[in-house]
Amino acid sequence: MLRIPKKEYLFRTISSLSDEASFGLDFGEIYKRSVVSIRVYGVPASEKEAPTTFFQRLNDDYHNRERDTDYHDDEIRYDYLRLNCAKTIGAGFKYSAGYRDLDVSSAKILSRRRVVAAANANIPTEMALRLLDEWHARGYGLDAVLYRKYEGSTYVDPHGEEEVAFKDLPNRFPSVLSRDFLKEQGEYEDVDNLFAMCLLYNLAKYSVRVNGETKLLEIERSKTPMAYPEAAELASQSAESDSENFAKKIHFRPSGRRIGEDTETTGSPGNAFDHYLKTVKAVP
């Protein structure tokens, strides 16, 4: 686990960590996809420090090749399904900051079968939703910021399976564990993913983008975020209704707004981030 400065993670094109750091993943994230940031207010200093202490322990366990710890039932090393970023972050809160009821799943039985592991994996957006519930229960303030993908990047990841420029990659659709979690990006129409997108929109305060002409960041949109209970209730109602209509394969105007989407979008959302991003100008 590495601490990456926020500006570097989002916007920098050179890594301060290592020459082996991956552009679009370890730094310069918005050149590859949009990022939703959840901001939490009122957290005690001790609670902020606790996960950091846990991550230091996790790093030590990794270097010492420890196995079967209280937070993982195998060797401590990265695994896309079994010990990924969502699980390590969740474990940091659960085992060091007192979040004892936080669900941090682990595929223990038949764990070598990847399909079984996938069905029990921790997924980043799903873990974010669980943490939102925990933070609200503790009385912390919440809002969200959308950092829009910059669409002008011609960079091609040399380690990618296909040679595709970042600007031509689909914008990653937030995903939670659901009945259609194995579908391709942008095809989610189930209630779980619709709830996540609507909730994030309801909590959103700012939308930030790179201005293609000035090459500066600018606040594209701003609004007053809803309080969490209201945001969650409205998102739940909208997700239920819209999911039912998507299942009917009819053309309709969704009742819920999803973070990043155009106000005039109707019918199937495709990739909800894509609809408005077409207005962003390219930076050479």
Give every CB contact of residue 12 below 8 A, 6+ residues apart in sequence: 27, 28
pLDDT above 60 for 120: no
Look at residue 281 in the predicted model and tell me its pLDDT. Answer: 31
Last-in-domain residue among 92, 108, 139: 139
Domain total of the chain: 2
182-229: pLDDT as tens digits:
444 455 688 988 999 999 999 999 999 998 888 899 999 999 999 999
Q: Taking a C-beta distance cutoff of 8 angstroms, is the pair 168, 31 a contact?
A: no
Q: Is 50 helix (H, G, I), strand (E, B) or coil?
A: helix
Q: What range defines the domain where residue 188 resides?
A: 149-279
Identify whether 157 is part of a domain. Answer: yes
Out of 5-19, 55-69, 134-148, 158-172, least confident range: 158-172
* 107/186 same-domain check: no
Taking each helix axis from N to C end, the angle separating 124-137 and 85-96, rounded to the nearest 10 degrees, works out to 20
* 179/130 same-domain check: no
Please give the mean pLDDT across all residues of the chain.
84
* 273/156 same-domain check: yes
* 135/174 same-domain check: no
Local confidence band at 172 (pLDDT 50, 70, 90 cut-offs): low
pTM of the predicted model as reported, rounded to 2 decimal places: 0.83
Local confidence band at 267 (pLDDT 50, 70, 90 cut-offs): very low
Look at residue 103 in the predicted model and tell me its pLDDT. Answer: 93
**pLDDT over 70 for what percent of the chain?**
80
52-111: pLDDT as tens digits:
999 999 999 999 999 999 999 999 999 888 899 899 999 999 999 999 999 997 654 334
* Beta strand pairing call for 35-41 and 141-147: antiparallel
